[in-house]
Amino acid sequence: MAYSFPEEVLEHVFLFLSSDRDRNTFSLVCKSWYQIERWCHRRIFVGNCYAVSPEIVIRRFSELRLVEIKGKPHFADFNLVPEGWGGHIYPWIVAMSEAYPFLEEIKLKRMVVTDESLELISKSFKNFKALVLSSCEGFTTDGLASIAANCRLVIAKMKFPFQLLRIGRFPKWKVFWDVVPAYLPAMYSVCSGITSLNLSYATTQNSDLVKLVLDYIEDIGLEALATSCKDLQELRVFLSDPFGVEANVSLTEQGLVSISEGCPKLHSVLCFYRQITNAALIAIAKNQPNFIIFRLCIIEPRAPDYLTLEPLDTSFGAIMENCTQLRCLSLNGLLTNRVFKYIGTHAKKLEMLSIAFAGDSDLGLHHVLSGCGSLRKLEIRDCPFGDEALLANAAKLETMRSLWMSTCSISFGACKMLARKMQRLNIEVIDDRGPPESRPENCPVERVYIYCTVADRRVDMPDFVWTMDEEDSSSLRYS
């Protein structure tokens, strides 16, 4: 069967495969199908720049046009990854400049991008069209000037320090560098078509718009959105003064309940609140069963339902039970192991989970690792999760992209045992206090970052990162 169709026909069939998993299955049928998939593959996503090497990617795919790479872990956005940890793009650019002269687009997130890297990009790819830098660092206007001077058709997008406004009736992103009064009339005619609104980092020169950007929108503003923006799909609400002793605006859970009632297409929420109730979250779960992304951050760690003082287990359990398509979840507050049992039981499609200041014991982590079959990324901070659950579910880690744990109860001894048990994993101990082996093995490490890799161990480790040696996991490899 593998040889029953001409290669031109198989190449045409391959173009209809949109899933990476389907393409991979296609390539495993036989050698000729593998080669066809290799020639036809035009884009690749690398979720961790250390999970694979540029050389392996180049051997596997010979005709790429779009490359998307992520560097630092997500918790770098919250200053939990030390400065100088890594995530350098330059080795990738050097390799790709020789292998992919017709590369058209590069998307980078949380990576160190130097001016030298940008200059090399500008001079290496003759058909280069787009560069997207999201939460990247290390470059100056000199590097951007190289892109502007040498890439005539390039579209450059940077998602920090400004954000993007997406309007439904227009096919492309609309970008506001500065939100000045003169620009606002352009928005009025399309307000009813807004699908995603996030101006949280835009430079604002209009007092009225300031009230919309952050929590100055208040409950009355969210209620107006619920009434007017029926096509709203994504909502982000940030606190204007998150560390203030008292709230300076009237923003409560009722505004979010109104949005869930009035915007039937809403599927993504990222909200920061000072307090929340079980009743509100249960109502939101019932109103919006189609949530794909639900990220809720309560500023006060381990905050209960502020009316009943009960844990938030029941309400987050309702999110799990009702929102069966959920892919991404962030949660904190007063949460016991019960909520993690809900997650392990019901969140079968969950791919990314972020947990902070929650749980009672290892049992909570065990529920998640043993129950969430689709889980790809797990991020944990300040939770009482330790060695037992991690080692008992070691096999699960090889099916995931990464696990980050900081200020938990993972010991250096457990990291060594895990390295012996699962040799495909790269286990990074990140500790500013010095070599972990200088302390008892049962002493918890500050941070541990675990990921599956097909590349050699990274060689650019700073002096506060240690990994187990490939050949002898009882020893450490230093930078």
- Summary mean pLDDT of the chain: 83
pLDDT at 186 (0 to 100): 52
Residue 474's pLDDT is what? Answer: 42
State the pTM of this model.
Answer: 0.84
How far the first Cα of the chain sits from its last, in Å, is: 51
Picking from 219, 222, 258, 213, the residue whose alpha carbon sits closest to that of residue 240 is 213
Identify the pLDDT of residue 172: 36
pLDDT of residue 204: 44
Confidence at residue 182, expressed as pLDDT on a 0 to 100 scale:
52
The pLDDT, as a whole number, for residue 241 is 72
Judged by phi (left if over 0) then psi (alpha if -120 to 50, else beta), residue 359 lies in left
Of the pLDDT bands very low, low, confident and very high (cuts 50, 70, 90), residue 237 is: confident
pLDDT the model gives residue 128: 92
Residues 49-67 pLDDT 10s? 999 999 999 998 988 999 9
Query: Average pLDDT, stretch 320-325?
Result: 96
CA distance 449 to 15: 37
- % the chain with pLDDT above 90: 58
Task: Please tell me the least confidently modeled range out of 73-82, 214-223, 420-429.
Answer: 214-223
Q: How confident is the model at residue 462 (pLDDT cuts 50, 70, 90)?
A: very high
- Flag whether pLDDT at 460 surpasses 50: yes
Tokens of 301: 């760690």
159-171 b/e (C-beta count within 10 Å ≥ 16 → b): beebbbbbbbeee
Q: Does residue 428 surpass a pLDDT of 80?
A: yes
Residue 82's pLDDT band, with cuts at 50, 70 and 90, is: very high
Query: Looking at residue 411, what is its pLDDT?
Result: 95
Convert the pLDDT of each residue in 253-297 to its tens digit.
Answer: 999 999 999 999 999 999 888 899 999 999 999 999 999 999 999
* Residue 152: both structure tokens together: 């005539």
| Stretch among 152-156, 169-173, 345-349, 396-400 having the lowest mean pLDDT | 169-173
Using 50, 70 and 90 to split pLDDT, how confident is the model at 170? very low
Task: Give all strands (DSSP E) within 16-65, no chain letters.
Answer: 43-46
* 61 Cα distance to chain centroid: 25
**Residue 366 — pLDDT band, cuts 50, 70, 90?**
very high
> Looking at the DSSP assignment, which residues form a beta bridge with residue 142?
none
Q: What is the pLDDT of residue 293?
A: 97
DSSP secondary structure string for all residues of 382-435? S---BHHHHHHTHHHHTTSSEEEEESSB-BHHHHHHHHHH-TTEEEEEE-TTS-
Q: What is the pLDDT averaged over residues 88-97?
A: 97
Q: For the ranges 102-116, 156-170, 305-319, 335-349, which has the lowest average pLDDT?
A: 156-170
pLDDT in tens, 99-144: 999 999 999 999 999 999 999 999 999 889 999 999 999 999 899 8
What pLDDT does residue 166 have? 34
